[in-house]
Amino acid sequence: MLMRLKGGRIYDPANADTGKKRDVFIEDGRLVKPGRNQKIDAVIDVSGKIVMAGGIDIHTHIGGGKVNIGRMLLAEDHADNRVRRGRLTRSGSGRCTPSSFITGYRYAEMGYTSCFEPAMLPVNARQTHMEMADTPMLDTGAYVLLGNDDFFLRLLKAGRDQQLINDYIAWTIQATQAMGVKTVNPGGISAFKFNQRQLDLDEKNRHYGLTPRTILTALLTAVADIAIPHPLHVHGCNLGVPGNVKTTLDTIAAAQGRPMHLTHVQFHSYGQEGDRNFSSAAAEIAEAVNSNPNISIDVGQIMFGQTATTSADTMMQYAGHAHAHPNKWVCMDIECDAGCGVVPFKYRDMRFVNALQWCIGLEIFLLVDDPWRVFLTTDHPNGAPFTSYPHLIRLLMDKSFRNDMLKRIHPEAAGASHLASITREYTLHEIAILTRAAPARSLGLTDSGHLGAGARADIAVYSPDKNVERMFSRPAYVFKNGERVVKDGKVCALPKTTTHVLRPDYDAGIERSLKRYFDDYMTMRLGNFKLSTAELESYNESALTVQPGR
């Protein structure tokens, strides 16, 4: 069946369309260029509306152990925000850490069609994928977390060949059905288990004698060697520590020109100037991003209000537990693999540090020149729930609104920030890059994030509104694989979805060392650790999409 979306204004940066009026044709779930005499079976009039590819969130904690601990811990959030089942939709609850079904519906109702879980522990891959299988409406994928796992650290300490490390990483990607590789506080989660409380880029893990720089270098090399499309996804050392800008700049330098993605960089852009020893280093970070084309970032913008911080970075989450609001927190050492820490937090506009964090995130967005290398995130739920994206987009697109908001925050923080003097306003074209085209390109998804022929027909149609927050909160239509799944901001159909995975090659000989290690030290058999395609597909009877290497 051939369907025509007629008369929309197309924002499709990947194909250099900026607000041009163009019809879009859909057939068998894909965008097509119809033949001259081909019969059109259905027409949907989208005249005057704004048409973009479906949104893609490159970094959102939607599945896995720590998110679920967050849900368990924040009972108040769930009791106060209950959602009734609908004719089609399941029930659920939660605003900060929504339950899985609600997560899927709310993303779709903003025009998003794909989301990527950025911190899947290898030993927790099954849970992560199961939760994502219960997250409807969205295509998903996950980055597997490495760099604190003892098998890897033992290889590195023993000075083993990079090829062996590459084999291990490629094997892990396949065994856990991952889409990329992430590292969190490289070596630091392990160091915390040996009672180290901080670890800078060139400090040694007490047990292994390895520095984060060494670990980072090995991982960067592996990701390049095994041709993973998405650069190594890096949550660096010293998250949240005043003065951590130096570590972040050193980390950028440590990449030595190799592609690297720095995630939630807002939390890593702090100086120590001023009476309060806390200042914005957004300008230095933006300058470093601007002058290093190998670096991409997502921001991890904070928004004021209650949320839960959930991270694999046990070292820094433990360090921050005294700030828990409400006063309860969970930290966990996990299975010689990594860890997790969940600390509920309330960002307050009249608290100097939080107000400045808000400014720092916005400054980074506005000072980085190339929109293809900065992605729109709140590091859901760490900076704020993902449902605040429309508000964030308005802050970026509307200077007078931004300045009005700036007047409401702690005055000293506003005074300590350059935000008021920044005149840049993002355009719709640029927002389409940040939220669609750039994430797709970074992930190597050639058939998503754009509206060219051959692309998946994942489309969001918005009604123009001067208040872009309202506009992005309630799309007129969302199409998933060509099926209309949202109408007037409400879910109207449940589409089939897919899980994106990679299949990098490795020498099967790695399993001999792994089997010995598993038999001696781990608590499950190697064969049972591996998550098979058949098992994963059984979770919601959907097929995987294998993405090609770079």
Partner 1 sequence: MTTLHDITCPFCSLLCDDLSVQARQRRLQVVNHGCVLAARGFKQAPPGAQAYAHQQPVSHTEAVKHAAILLKKSRRPLIADLGTDINGLRAALHLAELTNAVIRHKYEDSTLHNLNVMQTGGGMMTTFAELKNRADVVVFIGDKITTKYPRLLDRFITTRQAQFLPKGQRRKLICIGQASRQEKIKLGESLLHIPATGNGLLNLLTLLKCTLLGQRGTDQNIAREKLKKLKQASALIQAAHYPVFIWSAAALPADSADLLIRTITDLIAKLNQRQRAAGLALTDNNAGGSLQQVATWQTGFPAGLRFTDGFPDSQPDPYTPYPAECDALVWISSLERDTPPTLDVPGIIISNNQAVRKGATIYLPVGTPGIDHAGNLFRADAVINLPLKKLRDSELYSTGAVLKQIIARLQAISGC
- Enter the DSSP assignment of 433: I
**H/E element holding 33?**
none
Among candidate residues 313, 314, 324, 252, the one with its CA nearest the CA of residue 281? 252
Pairing of β 92-93 and β 24-27: unpaired
Site string for partner 1, 206-245 (x = CB under 8 A): -x--------------------------------------
Q: What is the rounded distance in angstroms from the CA atom of residue 502 to the CA atom of residue 490?
A: 33
Residue 329 sits in the site that holds partner 1 (CB under 8 A): yes
Q: How far is the CB of 287 from partner 1 (least distance, A)?
A: 39
> Could you tell me the CA-to-CA distances from 18 to 46, 122, 222, 292, 430 in Å, in that order?
16, 41, 38, 27, 10
Q: What is the rounded distance in angstroms from the CA atom of residue 192 to the CA atom of residue 198?
A: 8
Of 42, 72, 253, 350, the residue at the interface with partner 1 (CB under 8 A) is: 72
Q: What is the rounded distance in angstroms from the CA atom of residue 40 to the CA atom of residue 267?
A: 50
Q: How far is the CB of 158 from partner 1 (least distance, A)?
A: 13
Query: Among 247-255, 405-413, 478-486, 516-524, which window interacts with partner 1 (CB under 8 A)?
Result: 516-524
Residue 73 sits in the site that holds partner 1 (CB under 8 A): yes
Residue 75 sits in the site that holds partner 1 (CB under 8 A): yes
- Enter the DSSP assignment of 380: T
Q: In the range 181-200, which residues lie near partner 1 by CB under 8 A?
A: 192-195
Contacts for 486-494 with beta carbons within 8 Å, 24 or more apart? 486/108, 486/109, 486/111, 489/109, 490/109, 491/86, 491/88, 491/89, 491/105, 491/108, 491/109, 491/137, 492/88, 493/88, 494/88, 494/89, 494/136, 494/137
Q: What is the rounded distance in angstroms from the CA atom of residue 94 to the CA atom of residue 92?
A: 7
Task: Please say which residue, 207 or 351, places its beta carbon nearer to partner 1.
Answer: 207
CA R_g for the chain: 22
**312, 448 in Cβ contact below 8 A?**
no
Of 200, 522, 537, 544, the residue at the interface with partner 1 (CB under 8 A) is: 522
Residue 520 sits in the site that holds partner 1 (CB under 8 A): yes
Task: Please say which residue, 77 or 469, places its beta carbon nearer to partner 1.
Answer: 77
Of 84, 407, 466, 512, the residue at the interface with partner 1 (CB under 8 A) is: 84
Task: Please say which residue, 105 or 477, places its beta carbon nearer to partner 1.
Answer: 105
Residue 516 sits in the site that holds partner 1 (CB under 8 A): no
Q: What is the rounded distance in angstroms from the CA atom of residue 54 to the CA atom of residue 57?
A: 10
- Enter the DSSP assignment of 436: I
End-to-end CA distance of the chain: 33
Task: Please say which residue, 28 or 535, places its beta carbon nearer to partner 1.
Answer: 535
Three-state DSSP at 143 gives strand
Letter for the amino acid at 309? T
Q: In the range 414-453, which residues lie near partner 1 by CB under 8 A?
A: none
Of 42, 43, 453, 524, the residue at the interface with partner 1 (CB under 8 A) is: 524
How many residues of this chain interact with partner 1, rule: CB under 8 A? 64
Task: Please say which residue, 193 or 264, places its beta carbon nearer to partner 1.
Answer: 193
Residue 126 sits in the site that holds partner 1 (CB under 8 A): yes
Residue 535 sits in the site that holds partner 1 (CB under 8 A): yes
Of 119, 142, 336, 433, the residue at the interface with partner 1 (CB under 8 A) is: 336
**276, 356 in Cβ contact below 8 A?**
no
Q: In the range 254-283, which residues lie near partner 1 by CB under 8 A?
A: none
Q: How far is the CB of 305 from partner 1 (least distance, A)?
A: 18
Residue 160 sits in the site that holds partner 1 (CB under 8 A): no
Burial of 242 (0-12, 13-18, 19+ CB in 10 A): middle
Of 12, 25, 54, 68, the residue at the interface with partner 1 (CB under 8 A) is: 68
> Could you tell me the CA-to-CA distances from 332 to 13, 27, 339 in Å, in that order?
43, 48, 5
Residue 335 sits in the site that holds partner 1 (CB under 8 A): yes
- Enter the DSSP assignment of 166: H
Residue 124 sits in the site that holds partner 1 (CB under 8 A): yes
Residue 324 sits in the site that holds partner 1 (CB under 8 A): yes
Residue 94 sits in the site that holds partner 1 (CB under 8 A): yes
Among candidate residues 164, 162, 157, 213, the one with its CA nearest the CA of residue 186? 213
Q: What is the rounded distance in angstroms from the CA atom of residue 518 to the CA atom of residue 168?
A: 13
Q: How far is the CB of 67 from partner 1 (least distance, A)?
A: 8
Residue 134 sits in the site that holds partner 1 (CB under 8 A): yes
Query: Among 112-120, 170-178, 325-333, 356-364, which window interacts with partner 1 (CB under 8 A)?
Result: 325-333
Task: Please say which residue, 33 or 328, places its beta carbon nearer to partner 1.
Answer: 328
Task: Please say which residue, 103 or 248, places its beta carbon nearer to partner 1.
Answer: 103
Of 4, 6, 22, 90, the residue at the interface with partner 1 (CB under 8 A) is: 90
Of 47, 91, 277, 291, the residue at the interface with partner 1 (CB under 8 A) is: 91
Q: How far is the CB of 74 from partner 1 (least distance, A)?
A: 8
Q: What is the rounded distance in angstroms from the CA atom of residue 220 to the CA atom of residue 181?
A: 10
Residue 167 sits in the site that holds partner 1 (CB under 8 A): no
> Is the peptide bond prior to 326 cis by the omega test (within 30 degrees of 0)?
yes
Query: Among 69-77, 109-117, 158-166, 389-397, which window interacts with partner 1 (CB under 8 A)?
Result: 69-77
Task: Please say which residue, 421 or 528, places its beta carbon nearer to partner 1.
Answer: 528
Three-state DSSP at 270 gives strand
> Is the peptide bond prior to 381 cis by the omega test (within 30 degrees of 0)?
yes
Residues facing 82 on adjacent strands: 93
Q: How far is the CB of 429 from partner 1 (least distance, A)?
A: 37
**Rule CB under 8 A: which residues touch partner 1?**
63, 65, 67-68, 71-73, 75, 77-79, 82-85, 87, 90-94, 97-101, 121, 123-124, 126-127, 130-131, 134, 150, 192-195, 207, 318, 324, 327-337, 342, 520-525, 527-528, 535, 538
